[in-house]
Structure 1
Amino acid sequence: MSFFNKVLASIGIGGAKVDTKLEKPEYTAGDIMKGQVEVCGGSVEQQIDSIYLTVYTTFIRESDDKKYTDYASIKKHKLNEPFKIGANETKVIPFSMELPLDTPITYGNTRVWVATGLDIKNAADPEDKDYIEIRPDKMTAAVLKEVEQLGFRLRQVECEQAPKRIGSRFPFVQEFEFVPTSGPFRGKLDELEVMFLSQTKEKAELLIQVDRKAKGIGGFLAEAFEMDETFVRLTVTSQDVPKLNEKLKQIIAKYV
């Protein structure tokens, strides 16, 4: 084991590499994600302190009236205890990890990926990145479906920087933006935004933004100063699902 090879490995040349192979590329939020991590030794023996999987997503952050695409960690999972990998040796480590129920849905510009990293002392840490598609869980799907049943069309989905006052556990919140195209709210609302603040399998806390359509000079002034927007917090449980359409209709109608 030459000194020169050790130096090269310390800066990532000829060092260990990592490759994560997922069982499938698409998951529902809350699923168990399975796969295996393949670690391939480089030109010298190296100490692997840990292997970690981190689920990331993108979100829009505003600063000085400009928008930037940033990223945030949703979950980090450590796979192993320290071990050594010899030169040209290969180790395969199976894993399973539960995706959070509030993992963002990959719709529009939202991206979700799994980053695999090797923590190697005194060396560059190799990484691997695997993009995955995320579909909504049953509760989220039920809410979005019932909003559409009220005559709304989903126009845009985006993860945006979350104001501290709304209490999101992430630095972002995913917004589902709807516009009324038919039904009781057509011509009365400009748009409706639905945000999921926290979720379990049996319950979801929502924040709904109702944006009323401007009427007359007073309405236009209210719209100019964003006084036409109302925020409503509500909790939806699995028991609410059969009557969810009527519940949402009544809540939205209060602010039209």
Structure 2
Amino acid sequence: MKKVLATVGIGNATVDTVLASETVRPGETVDAEVRVEGGNAEQEVRHIDLEFETYYHTEDGRREGTVDTARLTDGFTVEPDGSRTIDTAVEIPWGTPLTMGGVDVWLETELDVTGVDPEDKDYLDVQPTDRMQAVFDAAESLGCSLHTAKNEEVPGWGSNRFVQEFEFRPSGGPFRGDLDELELIFDPGPDRLTVRVEVDRRGGLLSEMADTDERKASFTVTTADAGGIERDLRELIERHT
């Protein structure tokens, strides 16, 4: 009877992941302990998945999306009232959104067992990498202030189907009066950061309706030199305004 109850979540095993730090950056590795506590009956754990989750916006509303999944271990048996602790190193995916502008990101730990899968949810504080921060600093130096940061559905972008868009608006500086918005999308990696840029020029009603006031380009960042990035970003904006 106890095994039957466990299959519907009553007296089930539980899981709890404890991270060395919940403040992380894309590309980092964080030490963690995954603690499994047995329930009222012996249970076979087929595997443990660590899923990086977030929400993204679509035309139909908000959806939950998986950034990446890592399989932690193969199967094992957890005895009634027994316990097992697995020490691991969690790699923060490069494509993990930053927790800015109300964006939530969490690590979901899931046991694959018969019946109801026990899970644990740990919210993360995802901060910019040094290169990302240098891009933000460069935009601010040009008089552009961050207005929104949100995850948007982009069909065909990749397996995730969404990207994080950072929208800046000029509050001063050389492009005030010429620029409506500056939109940045990061494509990070271990050796470089590709920045996709949409320059929304200030135009009349007809140009806005026809989207002729928008220009798209990209540039690559290999250092965290905000001064050099500011020059590159300035030149790119000037070419498209």
Q: Same fold (TM over 0.5)?
A: yes
1:191-228, Cα deviation, whole Å (9 max, x unpaired): 110111x22232122211111112xxxx2211122221
Counterpart for residue 227 of structure 1: 212
The alpha-carbon deviation at position 242 of structure 1 amounts to 4.8
1:121-176, Cα deviation, whole Å (9 max, x unpaired): x3221111110100011111111110111111111111101142xx4552111111
Counterpart for residue 147 of structure 1: 139
1:210-225 alignment, distance < 5 Å:
210-214=199-203, 219-225=204-210
1:1-256 alignment, distance < 5 Å:
4-63=1-60, 68-120=61-113, 122-164=114-156, 167-168=157-158, 170-196=160-186, 198-214=187-203, 219-238=204-223, 242-256=227-241
- Mark the runs of 5 or more structure 1 residues left unpaired by the alignment: none
* Amino acid aligned to 1:11: V
**Alpha-carbon distance in 1 for matches of 2:125, 2:207:** 40
* Amino acid aligned to 1:34: D
* Higher radius of gyration, 1 or 2: 1
Whether the aligned pair in 2 keeps the contact of 1:161 and 1:173 (CA below 8 Å) is yes
The alpha-carbon deviation at position 233 of structure 1 amounts to 2.4
Whether the aligned pair in 1 keeps the contact of 2:134 and 2:224 (CA below 8 Å) is no
* Amino acid aligned to 1:145: D
Report the 3-state secondary structure (helix = DSSP H, G, I; strand = E; otherwise coil) of the residue aligned with 1:184.
coil
**Alpha-carbon distance in 1 for matches of 2:163, 2:193:** 14
**Alpha-carbon distance in 2 for matches of 1:69, 1:252:** 32
Report the TM-score, using the length of structure 1 for normalisation: 0.89
**Alpha-carbon distance in 1 for matches of 2:158, 2:40:** 46
Report the 3-state secondary structure (helix = DSSP H, G, I; strand = E; otherwise coil) of the residue aligned with 1:187.
coil
- Mark the runs of 5 or more structure 2 residues left unpaired by the alignment: none
* Amino acid aligned to 1:99: I
Whether the aligned pair in 1 keeps the contact of 2:98 and 2:128 (CA below 8 Å) is yes
Higher deviation after alignment, 221-230 or 167-176: 167-176
Report the TM-score, using the length of structure 2 for normalisation: 0.94
**Alpha-carbon distance in 2 for matches of 1:233, 1:227:** 18
* Amino acid aligned to 1:50: H
Q: Larger helix proportion, structure 1 or 2?
A: 1
| Structure 1 residue runs of 4 or more that deviate by more than 6 Å after TM superposition | none
Whether the aligned pair in 2 keeps the contact of 1:47 and 1:84 (CA below 8 Å) is yes
**Alpha-carbon distance in 2 for matches of 1:55, 1:171:** 14
Superposed CA RMSD in Å reads 1.6
